[in-house]
Each structure stands twice: as C-alpha cells, then as structure tokens.
Amino acid sequence: MRTPFIAGNWKMNKTVSEAVALVDELKAALSGVSGVDIAVCPAYVALTSVKPGLAGSQIKLGAQNAYYEPKGAFTGEVAISMLTGIVDYIIIGHSERRQIFGETDALVNKKVLAVIAAGLQPIMCIGETLAENEAGQTEAVLERQTRDGLVNVSTADIAKVTVAYEPIWAIGTGRAATAEDAQNRCAFVRAQLRLKYGDLADQVRIQYGGSVTAANAQELLGKPDIDGALVGGASLKVGDFSAIVKAAAR
Ligand code: 13P
C-alpha cells in the first residue's frame, strides 16, 4: 500500500541560517520515526546549506518550483537539472504559483513531465478557489487540473507523481476542509486517475493541504484516500510539524 507522505512547504520564509537551524531541530525531533516519508521544501537559496545536515536522516528535500527548460535565457528561473542531486521532490503548480504568477495547467504539465524526465518526483498541486467551491464547480476544476496537468504522463511514471489537493480557500486561513470533504475530494481525484491509469491509481499518493495542524492531522490522515499532507504554516514550527509527521506514521 501507499506510504504516507508529509511535506513541509516553507514558502518564502526563513533565511539560510534560520533554515539550517530549523532542519537541525527537525532532524532531532523526528529521529527514529518510521513508516512515513518526510520532505521539507525550503527556498532555493537554502537548499545546499541544509543538505549536509540531512545526511543520514530520513528527511528528504524538495524544491518549491522549477522551470522546465534545461538552461538558457530565463532570468530568475531555476532549471530542474540544477536541482538534481540536491532534492528528491519538486512542488509544481502550487496555487500561489497559479494565482500570483499566472501558471496555467499547460505550464504545470510541462514542468511535471520535465521533473519526471529528470528522475525526480513532482508534487502536483490542484485545488479550487472559494468562488469555484461555492458555485459547485469543485469537481470540474479538479477533473480539469488533474487531466491537463498529467497529459502524456505514462503508466510507467504515474506512481512517481504525488497529487496535492489544496483547496485555495483553506490555505493559510485556519479553515481546513473537514476530513470528510477532504476525503471525498481526494477519492474523486483518485477516481479520475483510475479512468486513465486503471489500478495504478492505487499507487499514487494524494496529499491534502490547507491549514493542516497538529490538532486536525490525525483525523485528516485517518481517511483512506488521504495519503499525507502538504503543510505550510505548521511546517515552520518544529513541534507542530513533528506532530503531523507522527500522526501520519503507520
Ligand atoms: P497552510 O498549511 O499554511 O494553510 O498552507 C498550505 C499550503 O499552501 C501548502 O502548500
């Protein structure tokens, strides 16, 4: 079955020295924890500084974004090849990338394919806005984002993909989806994957993200189609993130 997967998305937080300190504390707090995959995703500039401290730890590194072109005149972007050997995971299509920086499903798809081609694992984010939710469009949005984000992802590669369902109205608001609603949405996404990939859908990890805390993690992670969490604010606090990881461990 699927190993639970908890990833901390640090977003645009922590200087390099703060990131090194946080990783050291996390490593100590999580030593000996098993039965769960763990990743932290600091800013690009901190990745190589935190990397040595994670040697021998079960905590893996992820990046928060990357560009799909291998190199060239793309000022301000970071190529996936530059992240190879440093990270295992790359978050693709986070709602903040989509909403603030205009990323489309087509761009997300190019990035997902490039991450897989580089031998790394994408965490592809999907999720509806509050307006879409209130208009009853959630399933249509999830269906489109799942389909268009995974164009040309083969059956051989689909299990490398983690899908993170993050309803935008739940991100940073303190208002998480109910465990029941989150389960239903994640099950819906898995059903979409099953239409295209058959029983391989059972190998794809689907995370929930959006105001996951130490207090609500247990209930969310207890649901059958929620295979982990993509954690924002709570991933910056050692006690909270450790508690969430421990709640996921099977
Ligand atoms: P919060 O956990 O702060 O709501 O953020 C969720 C998120 O966007 C993770 O990618």
Q: What pLDDT, on the 0 to 100 scale, is given for residue 1?
A: 84
Ligand 1 in contact with 171 (CB < 6 A)? yes
pLDDT of residue 44: 98
Cα dist from 120 to 113, 161, 176, 216, whole Å: 10, 9, 29, 30
Query: Residue 79's pLDDT band (boundaries 50, 70, 90)?
Result: very high
Q: How distant is the alpha carbon of residue 206 from its chain centre? A: 9
**What is the number of the ligand 1 atom nearest to the C-alpha of 170?**
4
pLDDT of residue 136: 98
* DSSP structural state of residue 66: -
Residue 60: predicted pLDDT? 98
What are the chain's domains? 5-248 (3.20.20.70)
DSSP type of residue 223: S
Q: How far apart are CA 112 and CA 184, in angstroms?
A: 25
The response to whether residue 99 sits with its C-beta less than 6 Å from ligand 1 reads no
- Ligand 1 centroid to Cα of residue 206, in Å, is 15
Over the stretch 126-173, which tens digit does the pLDDT of each residue have? 999 999 999 999 999 999 999 999 999 999 999 999 999 999 999 999
Q: With 90 as the cut, is the pLDDT of residue 246 above it?
A: yes
Inter-residue contact 91 to 125 (CB < 8 Å): yes
Confidence at residue 171, expressed as pLDDT on a 0 to 100 scale: 98
Q: Give yes or no for residue 20 having a pLDDT over 90.
A: yes
Q: Evaluate if residue 5 carries a pLDDT over 90.
A: yes
Rounded distance, CA 135 to CA 3, Å? 34
Residues with Cβ within 8 Å of 212's Cβ and at least 6 positions away in sequence, in order, are 176, 220, 229, 230, 231, 234, 244
- When the pLDDT of each residue in the chain is averaged and rounded to a whole number, the result is 98
Number of alpha helices (DSSP H) and beta strands (DSSP E) in the chain: 10, 8
- Choice among 18, 134, 166, 180 that is catalytic: 166
Q: Which long-range contacts (CB under 8 A, 24 or more apart) does 183-188 make?
A: 183/223, 183/224, 183/225, 183/226, 185/138, 185/142, 186/223, 186/225, 186/226, 186/227, 187/224, 187/225, 188/139, 188/142, 188/143
88-122 pLDDT, tens digit each? 999 999 999 999 999 999 999 999 999 999 999 99
- Position 41 scores a pLDDT of 99
Q: What is the CA radius of gyration of the chain?
A: 17
**pLDDT-based confidence at 220, cuts 50/70/90?**
very high
Based on the residue annotation, tell me whether 94 is a catalytic residue of this protein.
yes
Q: Which helix (H) or strand (E) holds 217?
A: helix 217-221
| pLDDT (0 to 100) of residue 250 | 86
pLDDT at 73: 98
Residue 213: pLDDT band with limits 50, 70, 90: very high
Mean pLDDT of 26-54: 97
Q: Is 9 near ligand 1, meaning CB less than 6 Å away?
A: yes
Query: Is pLDDT above 90 for 45?
Result: yes
What's the mean pLDDT in 202-220?
98
Of the pLDDT bands very low, low, confident and very high (cuts 50, 70, 90), residue 210 is very high
Say if residues 235 and 12 touch (Cβ distance below 8 Å): no
Q: Report the atom number in ligand 1 closest to the C-alpha of 212.
A: 2
Q: For residue 193, which of 165, 212, 228 has the smallest C-alpha distance?
A: 165
Is 212's C-beta closer than 6 angstroms to any atom of ligand 1?
yes
pLDDT score at 83: 98
For residue 164, give the ligand 1 atom closest to its CA: 10
With helix as H, strand as E and coil as C, how does 73-116 read?
A: CCCCCCEHHHHECCECEEEECCHHHHHHHCCCHHHHHHHHHHHH
